[in-house]
Amino acid sequence: MISFLQQNAFWIITIVKIALLLFIVLTVNAYLTWFERKLVAHIQSRWGPHRVGPHGLLQPAADGLKFLFKEDPTPDGVDRFVYYLAPFLALALSLTALAVIPFGPDPIKLFGQKIDLWIANPDIGLLVLFAITALSVYGIALAGWASNSKYSLLGGLRSSAQMISYELSLTMSVVGVLLMANSFSLQKIIEAQARPGGWGVLGWNVIGLASGKFPVPQIIGFICFFTSAIAETNRAPFDLPEAESELVAGFHTEYASFKFAMFFIAEYTAMITVSCLATILFFGGWLSPFPASSFFQVTHYIPSITLIPFGLWVIYDGVKYETIFGKLILPGVGFAMFAIGAGLIALPGVNEFIQPIFWFTAKIFVFLFFYVWARGTLPRLRYDQLMNVGWKLLLPVSIANLIVTAGLLLVRGAK
């Protein structure tokens, strides 16, 4: 038994990692919907979900159950095979993208095995992600076509045109980063941003300072990348494929129940992937924004310093919450946060280990916040404006950024 485990350790570890990652990502997805509804509500001076559970925290579970138990009708005249294939394709591709994202540098040592914090780390990680992006058009386009509905077809057509257009600027905008890292590997791109001497935030590609030389900032590349990425994931203000006011619900008008939920999960997973990618490419991945010198050792307590007061505040909030359920749950959650924060101070080894993961998660969270913020505040573009922004603004600017970056790197002397 033991020898079987040892011989097949790689496969067992990989399968367990995949299951764990799926569990985490699907949970995060569920709470991302809660986060988005709550945040957009507050932007629009509303309360958002607040009936199911304290602060509406059980809303995702209620939504999930509703999706599962709703009737799942198949409209008349659909192309059955493609109609069923489309949501699977959308969900499978967006979840596959997460396989190549590295979440932390140091492997965990467990049962004598080194467990890396990624599922796969190919040398062409970024290209794999772009390949998946290129294929993920099909989920939406096919859903629109197979539904046998005018609204869906228009949504599908719009999305394929939009995604083809923005894929170009999405790809062009990151070539500057590739030139600076000299690699397609996501891990090497992050490591290249930890400039010798420990510059912290200044070394990240978005500023691009290197020791003793002038900086090659990729801020324009980042703006092009993130704008294109929002369009590529069909999110507001580029959510024309599902513009409610003109196309009912666009490509997923004819989908109900869990097939609709699959599109939903695919969209939110794509948001997480894009946030990971923006973090990795431009904002130093798991690197701390502070220089690595002993003076900044204090910053290693930032996870605790954020968790402890937040936990205390949640306890305080829970004690004066109106419902009994909230009075029981919220202090419990708050106490758990407080305990984790205190535990990190007590266990320096663990604290050191979670530093990269903490920064990575924090940066992803900031980008997810940006996503929701953009949705809450920006009006949707008209279709011709969308095409103009993609072809006449983002593409030339990202190409210019590439040329300038290449020139600057040539002058500076790469590596």
CB 178 within 8 A of CB 193: no
**Smallest distance from the beta carbon of 122 to another protein, in angstroms?**
7
Within 209-238, the residues that bind another protein by CB under 8 A are none
Smaller CB distance to another protein: residue 128 or 243? Answer: 128
Query: Could you tell me the two tokens for 220?
Result: 């324009």
**Smallest distance from the beta carbon of 128 to another protein, in angstroms?**
6
Q: Does the protein bind another protein through residue 25 (CB under 8 A)?
A: no
Residue 57 vs residues 21, 42, 68, 77, 253: alpha-carbon distances, Å: 22, 15, 19, 40, 28
Judged by CB under 8 A, which stretch of 160-168, 211-219, 248-256, 315-323 contacts another protein? 160-168
**Smallest distance from the beta carbon of 273 to another protein, in angstroms?**
16
Q: Does the protein bind another protein through residue 160 (CB under 8 A)?
A: yes
Q: Does the protein bind another protein through residue 190 (CB under 8 A)?
A: no
What is the rounded distance in angstroms from the CA atom of residue 193 to the CA atom of residue 174? Answer: 14
Judged by CB under 8 A, which stretch of 32-40, 91-99, 134-142, 220-228 contacts another protein? 134-142
Q: Does the protein bind another protein through residue 240 (CB under 8 A)?
A: no
Smaller CB distance to another protein: residue 161 or 381? Answer: 161
Smaller CB distance to another protein: residue 102 or 318? Answer: 102
Tracing tokens 């894929």 back to the chain, one arrives at 167
CB 200 within 8 A of CB 291: yes
Query: Could you tell me the two tokens for 228?
Result: 């294109």
Among 20, 19, 28, CA closest to 275:
28
Query: Could you tell me the two tokens for 84?
Result: 């069923």
Q: Does the protein bind another protein through residue 144 (CB under 8 A)?
A: yes
- Nearest-Å Rg of the Cα atoms of the chain is 23
**Smallest distance from the beta carbon of 98 to another protein, in angstroms?**
17
Q: Does the protein bind another protein through residue 403 (CB under 8 A)?
A: no
Judged by CB under 8 A, which stretch of 13-21, 77-85, 277-285, 328-336 contacts another protein? 77-85
**Smallest distance from the beta carbon of 399 to another protein, in angstroms?**
14
**Smallest distance from the beta carbon of 144 to another protein, in angstroms?**
8
**Smallest distance from the beta carbon of 191 to another protein, in angstroms?**
18
Residues 6+ apart with CB under 8 A from 263: 87, 90, 91, 139, 140, 143, 251, 252, 255
Q: Does the protein bind another protein through residue 174 (CB under 8 A)?
A: no
**Smallest distance from the beta carbon of 85 to another protein, in angstroms?**
8
Q: Does the protein bind another protein through residue 9 (CB under 8 A)?
A: no
**Smallest distance from the beta carbon of 229 to another protein, in angstroms?**
16
Selected binder of another protein within 124, 248, 292, 387 (CB under 8 A): 124
Q: Does the protein bind another protein through residue 93 (CB under 8 A)?
A: no
Among 191, 364, 170, 175, CA closest to 276:
364
**Smallest distance from the beta carbon of 339 to another protein, in angstroms?**
45
Q: Does the protein bind another protein through residue 164 (CB under 8 A)?
A: yes
**Smallest distance from the beta carbon of 133 to another protein, in angstroms?**
8
How many residues of this chain interact with another protein, rule: CB under 8 A?
Answer: 28
Smaller CB distance to another protein: residue 122 or 376? Answer: 122
Q: Does the protein bind another protein through residue 268 (CB under 8 A)?
A: no
Judged by CB under 8 A, which stretch of 133-141, 210-218, 307-315, 342-350 contacts another protein? 133-141
Q: Does the protein bind another protein through residue 399 (CB under 8 A)?
A: no
Binding site for another protein (CB under 8 A): 79, 81-82, 122-124, 127-128, 130-131, 133-135, 137-138, 141-142, 144-145, 153, 156-157, 160-161, 163-164, 167, 184
